Amino acid sequence: MTALDPTAGPPAAAQPAAAPPAVAPSPAAQAAAGAALRVRRLGIDTRQEAVVYLHRECPVCRSEGFEAQSRVHVRLDGASVTATLNVVTGDLVAPGEAGLSEVAWRRLGAEEGAQVVLSHPPPVGSLAHLRKKMAGGRLGPRAMEQVIGDVVRGLWSDMHLSAFVAACAGGGLDFDEVVSLSEAMVGVGERLSWGRPLVVDKHCVGGLLGNRTTPIVVAVAAAHGLTIPKTSSRAITSPAGTADVMETLAPVHLDLARIRQVVEREGGCVVWGGSVQLSPADDVLIRIERALDVDAPGQLVASVLSKKVAAGSTHVLIDIPQGPKAKVRDLEEAERLGRLFQGVGRMVGVHVDAVVTDGSAPVGRGFGPALEARDVVAVLMNEPDAPQDLRDRSLFLAGRVLELDPAVPRGEGLARARELLRDGRAWRKLQAICEAQGGLRAPPVAPLQHTVEAGHTGRVAELDNRMLGRVAKLAGAPTSPSAGLELHVRRGDVVGPGQPLFTVHAESKGELAYALEFAAAQADLVRLEERA
């Protein structure tokens, strides 16, 4: 190289050894590959999207042309992540530092003071499929595999994921694509096999407050002799998820080997699905769908069935609650969804039975982990005042699950389920499952309880599901397992002044006050209609 321009003179940069770069702090040799920065753990939870925080004056920002929201490749020894850049002014990070969000820190296996090298990320091939899908194209099985593979590797930003979910919603996925998506999601996770011809499962597509049928259905099915390895979720927006409820009765955080032992011994289990990575892609997509408040049929079916295939299920009962305020509003839509489940199930090798159930009102009496567990146990113990609606729903579903067994004739499942419940075998089975999972325990009772009474005579005209759930959460559910709300009335009951409407359960005075204060401000939490 020679400087030909007379105004320049021989540039110092032409002899890099003699004059080290004045601006770029790293050796010039690192220029193409990126430059090293000291990592700092900022403790910021950005969910699955890795974020790196660089100072505006960071030389790497400038030399690489990075700007806020650029995608940046971060390497630490053998590990690497593709992260979204947040540019920082002030003293949060120094110009020579790279702040990392929690997921970036974890994926890199970083330690304080380690050096990372930043560079432009390698091209992400699967984003071409995203663009094709946005343009209205169809994705074949191979493209779907690449998409899901890169999603799980964290190469897509939340904005990419969001665009993908939107492009796939609303009939954006045809039948073959739902099958490909399901299979691609199975392909990136763990996959269990049980060495048995019949492994059953049940799944409810839409959350109904208090609808805690799972432990009862598992108990009945396992008591009958079926294999039913059930993985459940924790609460997301409700005061309790099935895993939270079950945890007040037994440990639910089991690894795969332990789950296998429990199921070998008792035929069933009810564990937290988060402890086994059955469908890591689904964990990502569900978070996006929740943020967008969208749950398109194709994605719902792929999400559920991919988890069932991964869990080694051969037969699945899908519960589709339908009602004016449920996820599925009308009957025709519910039946169409059921048929899609069955069709895709056939292609991915799972037999699906789908039932449409009443989704118009909350189920049971308690809302919160221990309170729901009490309802479950009351049903299983045949207590005379056990909530009838929970009992009826559970028996109906359990009957349909039993009919997945070729030995149980169609139409006889319900009677068989009723028998297993009535004679105590279902309750003994749940106790045995709890023991196998690490020990049966009594659901805790809240130290603080306060009952709200009716101020006047009236008929219970309306129970506000959403607000009742919110009171339970303000009282501490599900973090405080004994907290929640216990309902003493059903819609249509007639109450007089001083008669109890509901009891708030809490573990601390502050939370009790907080929940009661909020409840008092909600006029229609329990709406009493005065009679003429």
Return the active site residues.
Answer: 295
156-195 residues near a second copy, rule: CB under 8 A: 157-160, 162-167, 169-172
Does 275 bind a second copy (CB under 8 A)? Our answer is no
**Residue 2 binds a second copy, judged by CB under 8 A:** yes
Is 471 within 8 Å of 505 (Cβ atoms)? no
* Smallest separation (angstroms) from a second copy to the CB of 167: 5
Q: Does 510 bind a second copy (CB under 8 A)?
A: yes
Give the DSSP per-residue string, 275-305.
Answer: GS-S-HHHHHHHHHHHHHT---HHHHHHHHH
Among residues 109, 140, 225, 447, which is the contact residue for a second copy, using CB under 8 A?
447
Residue 68 CB neighbour total at 10 angstroms: 12
Contact between 3 and a second copy (CB under 8 A)? yes
User: Which 117-146 positions form the footprint of a second copy (CB under 8 A)?
Assistant: 127, 130-131, 134-137
CA dist., res. 304 & res. 403, Å (int): 21
- Of 423, 453, 524, 529, the residue at the interface with a second copy (CB under 8 A) is 453
Measured from the Cβ of residue 332, the count of other Cβ atoms closer than 10 Å reads 10
**Closest CB to a second copy among residues 219, 515:** 515
Residue whose CB is less far from a second copy, 137 or 225: 137
> Binding string, 463-482, against a second copy, x = CB under 8 A?
-------x--xx----x---
Within the chain, what is the greatest distance between any pair of CA atoms? 102
Q: How far is CA 372 from the centre of its chain?
A: 20
Q: Is residue 68 part of the contact set for a second copy (CB under 8 A)? A: yes
385 binds a second copy (CB under 8 A): no
Lookup result for tokens 């924790």: 234
Q: What residue has token string 């967008």? A: 292
Least Cβ distance, residue 156 to a second copy (angstroms)? 11
Bridge partners, residue 527, by sequence: 462
Answer yes or no whether residue 89 interacts with a second copy by CB under 8 A.
yes
Does 233 engage in binding with a second copy (CB under 8 A)? Answer: no
Q: Are strands 200-204 and 315-322 parallel, antiparallel or unpaired?
A: parallel
Give 230 or 473: the residue with its C-beta nearer to a second copy.
Answer: 473
Q: Site for a second copy (CB under 8 A): which residue of 265, 325, 329, 509?
A: 509
Considering only residues 288-307, where is the footprint of a second copy by CB under 8 A? 288, 291-294, 296
Separation of alpha carbons 31 and 13, rounded Å: 13
- Distance, CA of 36 to CA of 96 (rounded, Å): 8
The distance of closest approach from Cβ of residue 251 to a second copy in the complex, given in angstroms and rounded to an integer, is: 24
Least distance to a second copy, CB of residue 192, Å = 29
Residue spans of alpha helices (H) in 331-424: 331-348, 369-380, 388-402, 413-422
- The 10 Å Cβ neighbour count of residue 83 is 29
461 binds a second copy (CB under 8 A): no
In three-state secondary structure terms, 140 is coil
Site string for a second copy, 27-66 (x = CB under 8 A): -xx-xx--------xxxxxxx-----x--x-----xx-x-
The residue from 94, 355, 440, 448 that contacts a second copy (CB under 8 A) is 448
Helix (H) or strand (E) holding 443: none
Among residues 122, 125, 237, 409, the one that binds a second copy under rule CB under 8 A: 237
What is the number of residues in the chain?
A: 532
